[in-house]
Amino acid sequence: MIKLIVGLGNPGQEYNKTRHNAGFLFLDQLQNELVKAESWSYEAKFQGRVLTTFIDTDKLILLQPQTFMNRSGLSVAAIARFYRLECEQILVVHDELDLSIGAIRLKKGGGHAGHNGLKDIISCLGSKEFYRLRIGISRPKPGIKVANYVLSKLGKKESELVDLAILQGISQIKKIMAGDFSSVMNVLNQKQ
């Protein structure tokens, strides 16, 4: 059962709507769709923006680390320790270069594939065994540096595709929270 959803991104207005902030975009939309009236608060002990809510009768904590991407693990580990969460109770939502733009996939565990946010979370938690909801942003064209690409803004069409992927993911949140992962994977991982 998922008790904490972490959306990865970089804090600051200049990073708003960039590819690397897909996790932030997901949580903002989740708040709009399911949580509505509640608002975020900055929690210094977690170095992040936190929203604690209920989906139906299940308590859910949302976290947007404010540590910058490459230090996301500090925030995630702090909140996981405070609430005594197991890695299997954590879902991390992040951008994924190895998925086409607008694809969304759920998986458990695995490596970091060069994603600095995941790399730091794995290091700080001491485990890879958390769930990941990966939002496809595609790879950059040859000659474009990955770092520049992920920190650039989504184009209009790309933004529409990412928004659709986010809505697909949100439509499965109750099943994800309940631990019905195979059912969610059958839906999300089959979509083209």
Annotated catalytic residues are 20
The tokens for 115 are 């994603």
Q: What is the DSSP string of 126-163?
A: T-S-SEEEEEE--PPPTTS-HHHHHTSBPPHHHHHHHH
- DSSP-derived letter for residue 105 is E
Task: With CA atoms as reference, report the closest residue to 136 among 4, 19, 18.
Answer: 19
Task: Give the N- to C-terminal CA distance of the chain in Å, as an integer.
Answer: 27
CA–CA distance, 178 with 3 (Å, rounded to integer): 9
